[in-house]
Structure 1
Amino acid sequence: MTKAEKTKEFIIARAAPLFNKKGYAGTSMSDIMKATGLAKGGLYGNFESKDEIAALAFEYSYNQLKEDIGQKIKSKKTGVEKLQTILQYYKNYTVTPSIEGGCPLLNTAVDADDAYPFLKKKARLALQEMLGSLQHILKKGIQEGSFRTDLNVKKEAELIFAQIEGGIMMAKVLDDVTVLNRLLESLRHRMETEYKNHP
């Protein structure tokens, strides 16, 4: 890795939590200067704009989340265990998030919406990847004979994701993590009752 690449990586690592906590509009170049200890020239010497930093900062935070969950589910053998691990991962998430500022996908999706199309595009790709991973896990459960063969994996992946992210949003707004935990528990119950393959 060259010195320039190392500097770029350092800037992104320091800027990522700022964007994840304060959003695009709430994060200024002077905030990034303060977090990195670099002058404006040092930032613009490595990046063309704040947009470029914000896009890479989202990728950095999202990849952190992906790696974190990935490490935990990789060791699990079955689709059922993998899904249970995901639900366990998000328990108490708003109180003890794995990434500073909470879920980068939820934060960026809400922040970007129609105001910042370049961020919305990044969030869309991340969402599609997350839904694809959930579908893959559900299909694995079907192949293993744990889940019903007629389970609509697309629909269930959307439901799981929406319930987790909705739970995080509600728990944050209400300052009450039990809301999220109850929704996770209802997903667990759904998995144990609705998904089960009864021979």
Structure 2
Amino acid sequence: MCSDRREPHRRRGPVVVAVVTAVIALVAVAGWWWVPNRYLPWDTAVFPRIDTRATAQQRAVLEVLEVEHTRQRPGTFYAEGVDEQWCADFVSWVMREAGVPLVNPHSGHWRIPGVYTLEEYYGAAGRYEPAGSGYRPDAGDVVLYRNRLGFGQHTNIIASVDGDTAITVGGNESGRIRIHGLDLDDPAIVGYGRLPG
């Protein structure tokens, strides 16, 4: 004979909470692994003092960087109104304002919107130093990185160097201009664009 008695409803709440918590933890760990160490922690470095031995070009670049870090303008300002990834736009804009403009090899314009094109520009200008070449960057140089997952690149400007570490300033980092410490042995570094001179 069949019974009218129903099975008690099992509570799924604790299982769902456990699964959601595990997924959040996994995403956090994956994010921590994927975000390069040079980005963490953000803005803990104080903007460095300009070295009294700096050249006029280096001083000009560093002065523009410091002002822009303070102002925190939106990326479209540096990209001539274009809403795009703007790290290379920021580098181009700073160099132009500092009196050492870049020249886009495809358009002849001062703005170079892509990091790969930025690398191409420095190579054609004879001012590109690949990582592992023994070149030690200096203030005002541009550093080019590849992402850990092997696609895309990023760029910052070196504000100071102390031994095997540097302080960099870059745009398009969570929508802001940020200061970072950089280990010059970071395997993500592709190379450097030197200031002229």
TM-score range, shorter chain: under 0.3
Task: Looking at secondary structure, tell me which structure has more strand per residue.
Answer: 2
Using CA pairs below 8 Å that are at least 6 residues apart, which structure has the higher relative contact order?
A: 2
TM-score, structure 1 length as denominator?
0.28
Larger-Rg structure: 2
TM-score, structure 2 length as denominator?
0.28
